[in-house]
Each structure stands twice: as structure tokens, then as C-alpha cells.
Amino acid sequence: MEMRAVSGSIESFKCDCIIIGVFEEGLDPRYKGLDQKLGGALSSLSRTGEFKGEFKSAKLVTTLGRTPAKNVLLAGLGKKAEYDLEKLRKAAGITAKYARNLGLSYVASNLHENFIKDAGPRDKAQALTEGAALALYQFTKYRTVEKEKIRKLKSLVIVDSSGSLEDVRKGLERGRILSEATNYVRTLVNEPASIMTSLQMEKEARQLAAKNRLKIRVFNKAELEKLGFGGLLAVNRGSMIEPRFIVMEYAGGKGKVAVVGKGITFDSGGLDLKPAAYMDGMKCDKAGACTVMGILKAASELKLPVHVIGVMPVTENMPGNMAYKPGDVVTTYSGKTIEIGNTDAEGRVILSDALSYAEKACKPDAIIDLATLTGACVVALGYSAAGIMGTGRRLLEGLKKAGDETFERVWELPFYEEFKDAIKSEVADVKNISSYPKGEAGAITAAAFLSAFVEATPWAHIDIAGPAWINEEWPYSPKGATGYGVRLVVRFLENMGKG
Ligand code: BES
Ligand code: ZN
Ligand code: ZN
């Protein structure tokens, strides 16, 4: 889909459909002329109560040749005082899908012109672009039947009459970069696990690195053995496919942040096999690593003045003949040992290597990890927020702020010292499951485990098991992979770049 911005008045824009916003307080007086041309159709809809401007509602009015546009799509924006950038994103997503599903191809919108306190034309154009481009994402490459029925918008034009075309274009460009990076992550995660293997992840990373001029280094199995990546190698043992450890770098400025992503291309649970209902969907267990790739893509395209190093341990977790077993003891890259209590708690085992590699080899100012780490985090927080814990107060607050700003929200869980007691082992330095009999505070004890592998660097752990994957459609995300985390971390890096 093409997206661009022009200046002019939307009433005279020629296309299949113009999208205009309506608050519950009534039609904006600026649309009086449009309403008159349509014989009062717009005002009568509100008079009869057919369209009240309720948030998330939409109503199509056919113009029968009375205006340059063939249709007017009214977008309900709710109450003026409650309207904000997130509602704009949602309204843009809902109306773009509405137009697409009717088979319309060329649409125009000026939703960025509706009043929002404290937001300028750039931020509003960015939100509009994100909402539409994220909502229109579809993963259809494996469908062969009735492909012609899959509808696509060809063009969405932002029509600006506020005299801020320059700002609107900047916002649109930022929104385009961020939504393309998010959709890129969604596609990597949605790809079936038998296709998006560790080897394919390496190919994807190399392609991205070549295109965006990123440095890349990929460690293969022999190299990992030599360097002592015992955690990643242990989890890989049940798989027929070699592991990969991918390191990518975008050096755009000073502050250096390592972003570590869990890359389990499929989590069967290993010998502690998951029951069928829990195993379905476990291709999503690589979302952390895929998000790291999306972050590097967006950061480089936005030319952020920061230094980002992506660190991705990638393997399947399978119950093959050679699979690692409960009771095994594994020596990690850091030298610390792990007693395996459950092979399904594999994410923390591969992250142990990745976190200490990030700290020791990259020497960053901060480490952020993203991982679909625990079902417990989904139980605690659902799908609207990731759990966050860590050791750097400023880092954690910065991520919370970025989460509120982008609406990719994080919720901090208590990270008391005593949780470290729960992951003690009698035979090794730590154990990959806690001693709490019912898995109590599972998201926190998992983070306590990870903390053993970061010595002195400010570190934030983001458990994305909930928001990385949704089972129902949302206003600007279809079912499946959401790409959660790209906009969050990029905003954090942007704020950091500002100093
Ligand atoms: N990949 C799962 C966590 C997960 C669950 C991600 C649901 C997305 C949705 C992780 O590897 C796992 O299996 N964790 C176990 C840990 C337990 C064995 C201590 C869990 O959460 O049950
Ligand atoms: Zn698991
Ligand atoms: Zn897992």
C-alpha cells in the first residue's frame, strides 16, 4: 500500500472514499459545506441517532456523484475530552479495514486534524499512519484458494488543510518505518516453525544486515562449542537443526544498548513435553529475537543517534534422542552452572549465555531483553502489557515512559531479593525452575534466574509472552503475531538519544 500526504481540503479530494472524524459532540462545522452537498445526509444521521460518533463506530455514506469522492466514511471518535493518540491509531485502523473490506482501493483521511490536547501534527500523522498500516497487515502467503477475494487497499492519502504539510510528512515517514518494522516482525513470527528455523533466521538476519548496512556476526555450532555456549547447546541437543547465535549491530551514536531476544523457533517443551493445547502456537516463541531484528531495522532507518547491538540465541526446543534431560547440569558461557529441573523452562537457559555474552563481549551501557518467557506472566497480566523487571531504575522508568507513549505498555512486577532464594540449586549454581511447589510468581522467579547472568550492567527484562501473540483481532493487529516491542524499544532509544 502506498501512503503519502498532500495539502488541500479533503472535501475536494477525488478518490473512492474520504474518511472524516466525528466526535460525540456532533459534526464539526467545517463539514457544513460537505453536508449541504449531500443534501444534509451527514447531519440527519446524527439527528436520527443512526450515527452518534461513538468511539469505534463507522458509517459509510455514498455520495452519488455529488462530491469528488465516491463515498464518505464517518469515523466515530467518541468524546472530545477523551480523545488521544491511541484512540486515533485505533480509529485509523478500524476505518482503514472498513474501507478495505468493502473493496475500496483509493482512500483519503484527515483524521490527524481532530483535536488532541498536547499533540502536534507530526505525532498525529505518525499515529494515523501506524494505525492504518498496522491494521491492514495480513499474513496470506500460504493461501491458494480464492486468493482473489483477499482485499487490499492500494493507497491511503493524508490530506492536510492545517498548513503543516512538512510536519505531517515527517510523522507519516516515521509511522511508515515503525509499522513496516512491526509488520516485518509479525511475518517472521507468523512463519511456520518448520520454515523459520535457526538457519532461516540467519538468512533473514543477513538479508536485513545487507539491506540496512548493519554489522553482523553469526556463530555456528562448532564455534559455540569452542566458546562454551553451554546453555544454547543444551537446549539444542534434542533438535536435528543446528543452533545459531546472531549478533547484529547498528552504530549510529554513543549510548550503547544491547537488546537480547529469545529465539526459540519452536517450543515443544522438550522431554517435558507440552500438552497439545499449550504446544499449538509455540512458533511464537521466537518473537523476542524477531523483535530485536525489527528494532534494528527501525533504528537504522530512523537513523537514531544511538548504538544498538542485537543479540539472538536461536534454536528449537525438541525432545529428540539426544535431548537434554531433567537432572542434567549445564555449564554456561559465564562459567556458572545450571541444574535443569524442567526442559520446558528453556528460554532462561539460552538467555543465560546471551545475557553474559552481551555484558562481557559487548560492554554496553544497558541491556534490555525481550522474551516470551513464562505462561505465568500471561496469567498475571494478560495480553495488554508485558511484565518488566530489572536492575536499572532509570532504564526501567525510561521503558515505562516509552510504553505509555507508544501504548506498548509494560507493567513492573516486584523483584525482591528473596525471589533469588527460590532458584537455588543443591547441585549447581542455579536451577531453571523454582522451588515454589505450584510455580508461584513464575514470571518473577524466571527473571530472578536471569539476574544471575548479568553482573553489573543496568538490565531490564521484558516478558512478552502475553502481548507478542493474540488470539482475537484488535483494532490495529490481526490475530497471531503482534510485533509488540518494536515501537516500545525504539521510542526508548529515541528518548535516550535526546539525552
Ligand atoms: N515459551 C514458554 C512460555 C510461553 C507460554 C510463551 C505461553 C508464550 C505463551 C516457556 O518456555 C515455558 O514453557 N515456560 C514454562 C516454564 C515452567 C516450566 C517453569 C511455563 O511458563 O509454563
Ligand atoms: Zn518452554
Ligand atoms: Zn519457550
Per-residue pLDDT averaged across 395-400, rounded?
98
- Per-residue pLDDT band at 197 (split at 50, 70, 90): very high
C-alpha cell at 427: 547441585
CB 310 within 8 A of CB 259: yes
Instruction: Give nearest CA residue, ligand 1 atom 7.
Output: 375
| Helix segments in 213-346, DSSP class H | 221-227, 230-236, 276-279, 287-301
Residue 227 has pLDDT above 90, yes or no: yes
Active site residue 274: yes
CATH topology for 183-498 is Aminopeptidase (3.40.630)
C-alpha cell at 329: 547440569
Residue 411 has pLDDT above 80, yes or no: yes
Nearest to 341 by CA among 263, 268, 449, 441: 449
CB atoms within 10 A of CB 426: 6
Residue 59: alpha-carbon gap to chain centroid: 30
pLDDT the model gives residue 499? 73
Active site residue 393: no
- Residue 345's SS3 state is coil
The burial class, CB within 10 Å (0-12 / 13-18 / 19+), for 199 is: middle
Nearest ligand 1 atom, CA 376: 21
pLDDT the model gives residue 260? 99
Can you give the residue ranges of every domain in the chain? 2-161, 183-498
Nearest ligand 1 atom, CA 432: 19
Handedness of CA 160, 164, 166, 167 (dihedral sign): negative
> Which stretch of 6-20, 139-153, 362-376 has the lowest confidence by average pLDDT?
139-153
pLDDT the model gives residue 60? 97
Query: Rounded to the nearest whole angstrom, what is the distance from the C-alpha of residue 190 to the centroid of ligand 3?
Result: 16
Question: Considering the chain, what percentage of its residues have pLDDT values greater than 90?
Answer: 98
Query: Rounded to the nearest whole angstrom, what is the distance from the C-alpha of residue 373 to the centroid of ligand 3?
Result: 6
pLDDT the model gives residue 497? 81
Q: What is the DSSP letter of 365?
A: S
Nearest to 348 by CA among 275, 267, 414: 267
User: pLDDT for 426-470, tens place per residue?
Assistant: 999 999 999 999 999 999 999 999 999 999 999 999 999 999 999
Probe ligand 1: pick from 317, 344, 419, max atoms within 8 Å of CB?
344
pLDDT the model gives residue 46? 87
The packing angle between helices 165-190 and 121-135, to 10°, is 30
Q: Which residues pair with 3 in a beta bridge?
A: 156
pLDDT averaged over every residue in the chain:
97
> Which stretch of 119-128, 141-150, 303-312 has the lowest confidence by average pLDDT?
141-150
Domain 2-161 matching CATH 3.40.50.1010: the answer reads no
Query: Rounded to the nearest whole angstrom, what is the distance from the C-alpha of residue 272 to the centroid of ligand 2?
Result: 9
Query: Which residues have CB under 6 Å of ligand 1?
Result: 267, 284-285, 342, 344-347, 372-376, 378, 433, 439, 442, 465
Query: Rounded to the nearest whole angstrom, what is the distance from the C-alpha of residue 102 to the centroid of ligand 3?
Result: 40
CB atoms within 10 A of CB 135: 25
pLDDT the model gives residue 498? 85
pLDDT the model gives residue 182? 99
pLDDT the model gives residue 228? 98
CB 9 within 8 A of CB 161: yes
Q: Cα–Cα distance between 170 and 153 in angstroms, integer?
A: 22
Per-residue pLDDT averaged across 5-10, rounded?
97
Q: Are strands 459-463 and 430-431 parallel, antiparallel or unpaired?
A: unpaired
Per-residue pLDDT averaged across 471-499, rounded?
96
Q: What is the DSSP letter of 274?
A: P
Per-residue pLDDT averaged across 224-249, rounded?
98
- The residue from 90, 237, 244, 348 that is catalytic is 348
